[in-house]
Amino acid sequence: MVSDSPHIDAGELFFSRELSLLAFNQRVLDQAADEEIPLLERLRYLCISSTNLDEFFEVRIAGLKQKLAAGGLHSEPDTPSASAASTLRTLAVRAHALVDEQYRLLNEVLQPELEAEQIRFIRRSDWNTAQETWLQDFFQNELLPVLSPIGLDPAHPFPRILNKSLNFIVSLEGRDAFGRRSGMAIVQAPRSLPRLIPLPAGTGDSGPYDYVFLSSIIHAFSDQLFPGMQIRGCYQFRVTRNSDLFVDEEEVDDLLHALQGELPSRRYGDAVRLEVADNCPEDMARFLARQFHLEDDDIYQVNGPVNLNRLLAIVDLVDRPDLKFPPFTPRLDHQLWQGNIFATLRRQDVLLYHPFDSFVPVIDFLRQAARDSKVLAIKMTLYRTGPDSVIVETLASAARAGKEVTVVIELRARFDEAENIAVASRLQEAGAHVVYGVVGYKTHAKMTLAIRREKSGLRHYVHLGTGNYHPSTARVYTDYGLFTSDAAIGDDVRKIFLQLTSLGRVSKLKKLLQSPFTLHTGLLEKIQRETEHASAGKPAAIIIKVNSLVEKSIIKALYAASTAGVKIRLIVRGMCRLRPGVAGLSENIEVRSIVGRFLEHARVYYFDNNGSPEVYCSSADLMERNLFRRVEACFPIEDTVLRQRVIADLHTYLADNTHAWVLQPDGEYLRLTPGNAPPRHAQMEILAAHAGEVD
């Protein structure tokens, strides 16, 4: 048994998922320091690390604080019993260090390099007379009319502060128009205001890309908000709140309307973090913390804008292609795109790997299905997409044309609930059948089914993917998509749609693995098969590529396989609780994370199977929620050529020595370097192989 290993205590079998997630965010931040990456893209990575950290607090830290409030332990079987309080303290130390590094990189590295390229954020102390005059006019005409300062007194209590909004606490001296002494006031910056204000070229010595932070302008002219009073200090702050929505699906009659009612509460959930300017006096920072019921560990004093992710606008505002990744044109199979997709799929399966392959065929598959008089029905799952998506418009037009269109929309896709509600309403207005999945289970599977009447009878044409039907993310997320008219796979997909709409039981699937029913047990069986092969001296190997690996029975099965001699290579982008490289337990397991230009998102499962390899792609990560609380699809790549293509991609990732981090037994990640070997960059090699030359 794994737990009986003499080399490691049972409580040390699994890394902390929260610390693992922070470690991933550190790898993202490391990209901002990588001088081999174009400068504006490094700024983008800094902003991504800030956005990731926001979500970490909104979801992970918020969950731990809820456990703490309930007096519970943050512990699971086979892990050390730890209080939520001690876990929060450990995470606070790591998070504070990460935030300090973010601002060090901004102030000491990126800003000087940006200034050298004439991209400047002009501080108040550096404004010349012409700039100050222009900014004062801007404040008077554009900002002052929409700002509503609130002096704090018994008639003006501390206001409700929006989640992640920009605010200022102002220290005042003197009496207002009514003779009152307030002492403090709050100024809230409306979200409609841009956070970066471009200075017109020619204003003083302004260059082509000079910007001033909104916070600097409000700070500089804050005295105009409090006429007759003295400003002793003005300090920006931002509060992060619990953003999980709670809807008791068993108790509501209409999930859409219930979610609509809950969405506003996300803006005012329990506070979990306070960011304040580093020059804010300690007594004022603690005053703010008390208003939000936060402790000292929850206060993050920062040397710069409290909303780093707003710097992302610079990447689009600055027209400097030389400071960005070179553009590329995804490969487009013209036979598939310009011809009849149904005729192509009757001859062969087609596999796309986005963004290296174009997303256009996915859209065209839907368009042809919508126009084809022989297509009787279209069924599709949508998890994340936009109401203005061409996919939504195509489905709506098919419904208006009289086709049977059924769309399973997951309303509870975190942070996309509002957009998904809009999509659902639009499709219903067009006459499509819209359902919201299964109560208690998120529908995360990515499936499209077109049912076509042909001479031989009804034929099922299917698209199955590892990522969302979202054309924008298909440009930056790596995801596989399989087109097939295989009868067994088509029937499996039809059965899953029947299950999602009718809620009836379905017979056993022939080729697909599906959570929450067969995916977990199916993967365990395949891992066990490799274990038995290794024990019998037969070839045995496992390669898994996922976003997260945290589910314990899968990890234990991989430990057992390693002990039996199975060579296991794991490509895990984010959270990984498995401890590799432990003698007698996991010495045959390597874990690496690839962080590059594109977000690694595809989930792939490879099993050697005694020389007859099997490859599956899936929408599911190896997490409890994916395996037990979601509807997921895992599909085989059966065509020999396509299967070998996926295997070749996996081996390319395993050869990366420039953008790969290898997980160590102590939980730290070590970035690989080429040394004397030729440098290998997996994403760029795959881009060259799939999409041809970069533009």
Place of tokens 């303290």: 89
Strand partners, 452: 375, 459
How do strand 404-409 and strand 375-382 relate by DSSP bridges? parallel
Q: List, edge to edge, every strand of the sheet that includes 196-198.
A: 119-121, 209-213, 196-198
Please name the helix (run of DSSP H) or strand (run of DSSP E) that holds residue 381, with its range, or none: strand 375-382
Instruction: Indicate which residue of 444, 460, 533, 601 is catalytic.
Output: 444
Return phi, psi of residue 671, to 5°.
-75, 130
Are the C-beta atoms of residues 32 and 105 closer than 8 Å to each other?
yes
**E-strand stretches of 174-243:** 184-188, 196-198, 209-213, 230-241
Q: CA-to-CA distance for 57 and 70, rounded, in angstroms?
A: 18
- How would you class 35 by CB atoms within 10 Å of its CB: exposed for 0-12, middle for 13-18, buried for 19 or more? exposed
**E-strand stretches of 219-279:** 230-241, 271-277
- The three-point CA angle 188-189-195 to 5° equals 150
What is the sign of the dihedral through the CA atoms of 264, 267, 268 and 272? positive
- Annotation marks residue 444 as catalytic: yes
CA distances in angstroms from 118 to 33, 194, 199, 203, 322, listed in the order given: 19, 21, 13, 15, 13
How do strand 541-546 and strand 567-572 relate by DSSP bridges? parallel
How do strand 614-618 and strand 603-607 relate by DSSP bridges? antiparallel
- Helix 17-32 to helix 39-55 angle (10° resolution) is 160
Considering only CA atoms, give the Rg of the chain.
27
Q: CA-to-CA distance for 664 and 676, rounded, in angstroms?
A: 22
For 309, residues 6+ apart whose C-beta sits below 8 A from its C-beta are: 47, 48, 50, 51, 54
Question: Residues with catalytic annotation?
Answer: 444
